Amino acid sequence: MMRFCTLVLAVLPIAAAADLSGKWMINGDVVGNPVSLDCTFQQNGEGKLAGKCAVNGMDPSDVAGDVKEAEFKFSFNAGGYLLTYSGTVQGESVKGSIEVAGVTGTFSGTRVKQ
């Protein structure tokens, strides 16, 4: 019986974090204000996310976040505001919510093929 349990556990898939590494174009809206991101992410084996995002063509800001399975969250400062993006990744696209200055909005985006 012990061998059977070990075998079953050995073949169960382990859910790995989705990989957000690469370049992404993300567009959103926060209470009628368009928010366009041009981001480049690097993700390590533990799901830690780093990189840079440029908001609406401004200078890029440093990003920090986490990815767990298909869910992610990252934050950065731009124009004196902390923007926090939380969402899900499915293949080459992302979607979710934006929080900034106590208000929320939504976003969607796609990976840029290089």
Using the 8-state DSSP alphabet, how is residue 6 labeled?
A: H
Is 6 a member of any domain?
no
Is 99 a member of any domain?
yes
Q: How far apart are CA 38 and CA 101, in angstroms?
A: 21
Residue 107 is predicted with a pLDDT of 98
Is 12 a member of any domain?
no
Is 93 a member of any domain?
yes
The pTM of the full predicted model, rounded to 2 decimals, is 0.85
Comparison of pLDDT for 105 and 8, the residue scoring more = 105
Comparison of pLDDT for 6 and 61, the residue scoring more = 61
Residue 15 is predicted with a pLDDT of 56
The CATH number of whichever domain residue 101 belongs to comes to 2.40.128.120
What lies within 8 Å, CB to CB, of 38 at 6+ separation is 23, 24, 25, 53, 54, 60
The mean pLDDT of 14-34, rounded to a whole number, is 89
Is 3 a member of any domain?
no
Structure tokens at 62: 């440093």
What lies within 8 Å, CB to CB, of 113 at 6+ separation is none
Is 13 a member of any domain?
no
pLDDT in tens, 41-97: 999 999 999 999 999 999 999 999 999 999 999 999 998 999 999 999 999 999 999
Is 7 a member of any domain?
no
Q: Tell me how far CA of residue 46 lies from CA of 16, 32, 84, 94, in angstroms.
A: 10, 36, 20, 20
Q: How far apart are CA 72 and CA 7, in angstroms?
A: 32
How many domains in the chain?
A: 1
Residue 17 pLDDT class (50, 70, 90 cuts) = confident
* Domain span including residue 29: 18-111
